[in-house]
Amino acid sequence: MIYSEQNNPIQQHRGSIEVICGSMFSGKTEELIRRLKRAQFARQKVEIFKPKIDTRYSDDEVVSHDHHAIPSTPVDASESILLMTTDVDVVGIDEAQFFDDELVTVCTRLANSGIRVIVAGLDMDFRGVPFGPMPALCAVAEDVYKVHAICVRCGALAYVSHRLVDSTKRVLLGETAEYEPICRDCYNKLKQ
């Protein structure tokens, strides 16, 4: 908080990047929606984006596995976000792992211009490999919040989204029929 000449507090806008990451079914999107709705409740101007390829629940909403939703704009490329974020306080981005690597530059530019950027995404793919721009986003973020699902096999904290279907495609949209959250120990036993 800074003070004006009349000694009245003036809110200073400081940009930042917050990353919410973890495996599937860990509550990433739920946490993103919670933070964005709080910003809206505080009368902040919020814009929300998701990759155009994510049509699992809705074409134009970010939707959690628990079916909580918030309106969003689907985009093909991260650069498009810059064209739609004039005069906003908060930018939310879901499924960040599906965006191109330019997303890191986009988020940094937004934060440098005084915008609070909240990004959610998978930190690793089904093979346990860091996914898309997420590692770089974690590196440049002021705050990284890792959420965990529970391993469906033993009850420990989940480590990875294990793919249940036979496919080597890195991007395969799915739900509980295609993926399950499992811990490191259970994942390593499956790889043997």
Q: Which residues are catalytic?
A: 95
Show Cβ contacts of residue 39 under 8 Å, excluding neighbours closer than 6 positions.
46, 89, 90, 116
CA distance 60 to 40: 18
DSSP state of 97: G
Per-residue b or e along 72-108, where b marks 16 or more CB atoms closer than 10 Å to that residue's CB: bebbeebeebeeebeebbbbbbbbbbbbeeebbbbbb
- Token pair, residue 13, equals 């806008």
